Amino acid sequence: MSAPETWLKDARTKVGTAVLAARAEQIGRVEEVGDGIALVSGMPNVRLDELLRFEKGQLGFAQVLEEDRVGCVLLDDVDGVEAGDSVRGTGDVVRVPVGPGMLGRVVDPLGRPLDGKGPIESDTRMPIERPAPSIIDRDLVIDPVQTGLVVIDALFALGRGQRELIIGDRAIGKTTIAIDTIINQKNSDIVSVYVAVGQKSSSVRRAIDAIQGSAAPERCIIVVAGAASSPGLQWIAPFAGMTMAEYFRDTGGHALIVIDDLTKHAATHREIALLTRQSPGREAYPGDVFYVHARLLERASKLSKDKGGGSLTALPIAETDAGNLSAYIPTNLISITDGQIVLDAKLFYQGQKPAVDVGTSVSRVGGKTQAHALREAAQTLRLDYAQFLELESFTRFGGMPDTRVRQQLTRGGRIRAILDQTQHAPLRLADEVALVLAVQGGLLDALPLKVISAFRKGLAEVIDRDAADAVAAIQDHGTLDEVGKQALVGALAAYAKGLTPARAEPAPTP
C-alpha cells in the first residue's frame, strides 16, 4: 500500500471514530489590563478561582466575580495580554505537579522548572487550594523537629505538625534560622520545601546555594516567585508549596515548609485587592487577609495513624518594622501560629547570633516535643538565662555584687556563649545535650569566654571518643540514662579541664 493510500485510510478511521456532539465553551473578552490584573467580560458562568486561558496562551485565575465582569489575576507576563483579546474558561482550578519527581528541583509556583534540568517527571497534579485536615483526622504533636540551633531546641522546641512563626526586622537572620533547620534535616526523614515570595534575586540565590551546598538537595523542593515575578505567581506561591509538601504528609511521610515571607505575600494580596477594586480595610488590606493566611497555615498538621501518621511542619517568616510586633500582619500571624521565634535587632548588632529574644519568643507546644535527654538537661536553662539578663542590666549601674550574684553573672555569660552559633553549622542532638549539661553543671565557669568557641569546636570529637554509648543513645532514642549521663559529664569535665588556663602560682614569701 502506497503512502497516500495509508494516510487516506488513517484519516477515514479517525473520521469514523470521531464523536460529533455539541460542546459548550465560555469565551470572554478582555476589557482592561494592567499591573498583573485583567478585567474580563462575557463570562457569567465562570467560577471563583477558575483557571482562565488567554488568546496568546497566558494563564490567569478568577479572583473577583462581579455582575458584569470578572477580575482575573494573571500568572504570566502581562505584556502579552491586550484589551480585546479572547479569554476561555478551562473549567478547572490552578494545579501543580506533586510527587518524588519534584525533589531536588527549583520550580516556579506553577511547577515549571527554573533550574535547567529538563521537564518535571510527575504524572500527578493537585489543586493549590485544598481543605485543611479536620480535627478528627489529626494527632498530638509530640515528635521533635531538630533545628540544630541550641537556642531553639533547648528553649523553644519545635514539633512535627507545628506552625512556628519566625519574626523580626529585615536582615537580622530570619531566613538563616529557617535554612539552618532545612540543613539539619540532612540526616532525618523530613522532606523540605522552601518557598521564596517576593525576595530579591540575590537573596534567593544565597538561599539556593546554602541548601544545595550544605543540606540534602535531593530531598528538597525550592519554589521561587521572586520580586520580578507577576503578582499572581507571588500570590499562589505559598499555596503551591503547601500542596507539594502535603503530598509527602498524605503518603505517610514527614515534610517541612518554609515560607519566606508572608509579609510580602500580604502586600501582594493587598495590591491585587486594590487593583480589583475590593473594599480596603485596616492599613488598606482587604478584610479577608486574615482568612487567607489562616486557611494556608491550618493545612500544616500531624495526621492520625488512621490517616498514615504523616506530618507537615510550617515555618512561616514575617518581617516587622522597627520591632513592632503589634502591627496588623504580625499580630494576625502570631494569633494563627503555635508560637513565634522573635529576633531582636539590638541583639543582632551586638553580635549575638541567632539574635533570638528569649523573653518574647515562645513555643506553645513546648517541652512535649523535646527530646527527653535535652529536656532533662535544660530544665532551668531559660529561667537561669532570664535571671542573668536582669542581673546584668542592674550591675551596669556599678556597685560590687556579692559572691552569689557574681556566680550567676559568670554562669549566664557562659549560657549566652553556648547559645551563640555560626550560620549554616547546625549541631547534632548529642552535641546540644552535651553543651547544656556542661554549662548547667558549671563545667564552663572556669573557662574564659573566648575559649568557649574552641570548646564547642572540639566537642563532637571528644564525646564520640570518650562517651560513645551515651552519644549513640541520644542520637538513636533521644534518651540518656544515669550511667550514660555520668560518662558524658566525666568526658566533658576532663575536656573542659584541659582547656582551662593554668593559674599563676603565688610568689613565695621572703
Alpha-carbon dihedral 424, 146, 364, 191, rounded to 10 degrees = 90
Which of 197-206 are b and which e, b meaning 16 or more Cβ less than 10 Å from the residue's Cβ? bbbeeebbee
Residue 135: CB atoms within 10 A of its CB come to 7
Q: DSSP character for 35?
A: T
Alpha-carbon dihedral 373, 374, 376, 378, rounded to 10 degrees = 160
**Where are the domain boundaries for CATH 3.40.50.300 in the chain?**
97-370
**Where are the domain boundaries for CATH 1.20.150.20 in the chain?**
375-499
What is 97-370's CATH topology?
Rossmann fold (3.40.50)
Nearest-angstrom CA–CA distance, 508 and 510: 6
Place of cell 487593583: 275
Does 249 qualify as catalytic in the annotation? no
Q: What is the pLDDT along the chain (510 residues), one digit of tens a residue?
A: 566 667 667 767 776 676 666 666 778 899 999 888 999 998 888 998 999 999 888 899 999 998 889 999 999 877 788 898 999 999 899 999 999 999 999 999 999 999 999 999 888 999 999 999 999 999 999 999 999 999 999 999 999 999 999 999 999 999 999 999 999 999 899 999 999 999 999 999 999 999 999 999 999 999 999 998 999 999 999 999 999 999 999 999 999 999 998 999 999 999 999 998 888 989 999 999 999 999 999 999 999 999 999 999 999 999 999 899 999 999 999 999 999 999 999 999 999 999 999 989 999 886 788 999 999 999 889 999 988 988 888 777 766 677 888 888 889 999 999 999 999 999 999 999 999 999 999 999 989 988 998 999 999 999 999 999 999 999 999 999 999 999 999 999 999 998 877 553 444 444
- Joined together, the cell numbers standing for residue 45 give 458562568
**Where are the domain boundaries for CATH 2.40.30.20 in the chain?**
27-92
pLDDT at residue 493 in the model: 93
pLDDT at residue 376 in the model: 92
The one catalytic residue in 53, 138, 295, 364 is 364
- For domain 27-92, give the CATH number: 2.40.30.20
Spell out where 128-176 has E strands: 144-145, 158-159, 165-168
Nearest-angstrom CA–CA distance, 413 and 2: 91
The runs of H, that is alpha helices, within 396-457 are 403-419, 429-440, 452-457
399, 174 contact by CB (below 8 A): no
- Joined together, the cell numbers standing for residue 250 give 498524605
- For domain 375-499, give the CATH number: 1.20.150.20
- The DSSP bridge partners found for residue 289 are none
Pairing of strands 220-225, 190-197: parallel
345, 169 contact by CB (below 8 A): yes
- Joined together, the cell numbers standing for residue 149 give 540551633
